[in-house]
Amino acid sequence: MLTEVLIVKKQLSEEYFEEKFFFLVQHQHQQQQQLPPEQQERIEGLKRYKPPEFAYTGTLRPSYITPVKAVPDSIDKPDYASGGVPLSENRFHRTTPNKIPIYTPQDIEGIRLACKLGMFINYKTTTLSFFFFWEKKSREVLDIAASVVRPGITTDEIDVAVHEACIERGCYPSPLNYNGFLKSCCTSVNEVVCHGIPDCRPLEDGDIVNVDISVYKDGYHADLNETFTVGRVEQKYKDLIKVAHDSLAEAIKHGSFLLIYLFIFFIYLFVYLFIYYYYYQLLYLGEIIDNYVSKYGFTPNRTYCGHGIGMMFHCPPNIPHYKKNKAIGKAKPGMVFTIEPMINIGQWKDKIWTFDHWTVVTVDGQRSAQFEHTLLVTEDGCEVLTARTSSSPPLWWELEPPAPTNSVEEKTMDVDLPNTDAQNNASLSSRPASDSQSEAKTAPDSEPNNTEQTQKNSNANNNKNKKKRKP
């Protein structure tokens, strides 16, 4: 009807409108043809994609997964790159179960190269005082991935950045085709605990995302991951990330002091035996992590653990992140393994998306955060092969100053929340903003005036015997 009115009013022919419509369609088609091939594939795939029906535990939904990317023939590849089956790992587990590899100096140099060298830690002792000296170099691929994280970008685009960074550096992205995994890295968003497959879902403001990077270079693997904020994130999720980060730092600090403890207290036989038979045990790392995160009301995942790495992507020892575990083995020089605690807001239990057989989510749909490093046990401590450098993109607490806390709340807190000082990864004395740690209680939008503060102090004194609230 509208077309007929326009024809009569402007005395235009129907052919005029047909030509104009054809021109617009052709122009849109030409614009789409000018897009990069990856973006064209995403657009076409999203048109066809329908999310599978599944009992999802949280708000996250899967999206279209682009085709597997190729790796040039010139790059050295692991044995599973073509067939998807890690033959060397399977053979090792079958013939020498529970044997922990001890690497030679030549092997260690190869692993260092794969890790792109992180941090050398040397220790000097004066009685019980310790001084740390760091020499930092780069671990480029994860830093490149971190630099592209922002609202609106898809995890598939993060995977493209990781894949291209690996190819440019002549290394193979270890996750690609490992037991059939489709991508070059794992991206775990919000309630995903681990092994999230990069897809075409854009990251949203308020999300958190873990990017897990593993590379294979000249016969050796390296592994590390970090969790990042996307845009403006609620404080309780920031605190989850910080506690996950600091729990890893606590475990590493313990691993660094194992041999020092023996040296200092060797004259005390009982202490010597206790440290050798308990502190040397790899299972104790889980005790440290569990005890630390439980102070803040968080829970370590019990299904997945750290692992040995080097010539194989995964091998002994297993490094659980919870207490009362049954890990086998003692820390010995030459061992290389990862510590990668997955810390949940709610329950530790998880569930796998059965339609992709990889994505692990929390059973209650609440969020999870994770950090990971590859470590080498040395004669006098441990060496963190994948540590952050001065050029690494900052984590959230390195960008934001600690929020002011209410003095009354400080008096009623059972424990302090973790330190937000970016320069102190081992010390855990202060707290980030604790007002949003509890979902049931939130802080006021502004600080109270003097009258309100006086009234609060009075109420606090009158109720000083009241049970303290937990963070």
pLDDT digits 0-9 by tens, 349-365: 999 999 999 999 999 99
Q: What percent of the chain has pLDDT over 70?
A: 67
- Lowest-pLDDT choice from 23-27, 142-146, 373-377, 390-394: 23-27
Domain extents in the chain:
18-48, 80-400, 402-471
Identify the bridge partners of residue 212 per DSSP, sorted by sequence position. 186, 225
What's the CA angle centered on 226, arms 358 and 369, to 5 degrees?
65
Specify the residue for token string 């845009």. 231
Rounded (10°) angle between helices 2-10 and 14-33? 120
Question: What pTM was computed for the model?
Answer: 0.71
Q: Which residue has the higher pLDDT, 163 or 122?
A: 163
What's the whole-number average pLDDT of the chain? 77
Q: State both tokens at 252.
A: 């590493």
Tokens standing for 306?
């750290």
Question: Is 220 or 1 the better-scoring residue by pLDDT?
Answer: 220
Among 32-46, 121-135, 313-327, the minimum mean pLDDT is found in 121-135
Strands 360-362 and 192-194: antiparallel
264-290: pLDDT as tens digits = 544 454 554 454 444 457 888 999 999
At 403 the pLDDT is 56
Which has the closest alpha carbon to 64: 85, 50, 78, 83? 50
Q: Does residue 394 have a cis bond before it (omega within 30 degrees)?
A: no
- Residue 420: per-residue pLDDT: 42
Q: Tell me which residue of 248, 276, 187, 283 sits closest to 374, measured CA to CA.
A: 248
CA distances from 445 to 234, 435, 448 (A): 14, 10, 9
Give residue-wise pLDDT tens across range 199-251.
999 999 999 999 999 999 999 999 999 999 999 999 999 999 999 999 999 99
Over residues 408-465, the pLDDT tens digits come to: 333 333 334 444 443 334 333 333 433 333 333 333 333 344 444 444 444 444 444 3
Q: What is the pLDDT of residues 359-388, one digit of tens each?
A: 999 999 999 999 999 999 988 888 899 988
User: Is the four-CA dihedral 180, 155, 144, 212 of positive or negative sign?
Assistant: negative
Architecture in CATH of 80-400:
Alpha-Beta Complex (3.90)
Q: What whole-number percentage of the chain has pLDDT above 90?
A: 55
Element (H, E) at 210: strand 208-217
The amino acid occupying position 120 is: F
In the predicted structure, residue 135 carries a pLDDT above the cut 70: no
Token pair recorded at residue 348: 């530790």
Binding site: what residues are annotated?
195, 212, 223, 307, 314, 340, 372
The pLDDT value recorded for residue 64 is 95
Contact 385, 135 (CB under 8 A): no
pLDDT, tens only, 160-199: 999 999 999 999 999 999 999 999 999 999 999 999 999 9
| pLDDT at residue number 447 | 39
Return the pLDDT at 297: 96
pLDDT on residue 431:
36
With beta carbons less than 8 A apart as the criterion, state whether 185 and 159 touch.
yes
Binding positions for a divalent metal cation are 212, 223, 307, 340, 372
Residues 6+ apart with CB under 8 A from 72: 167
Known binding residues for substrate are: 195, 314
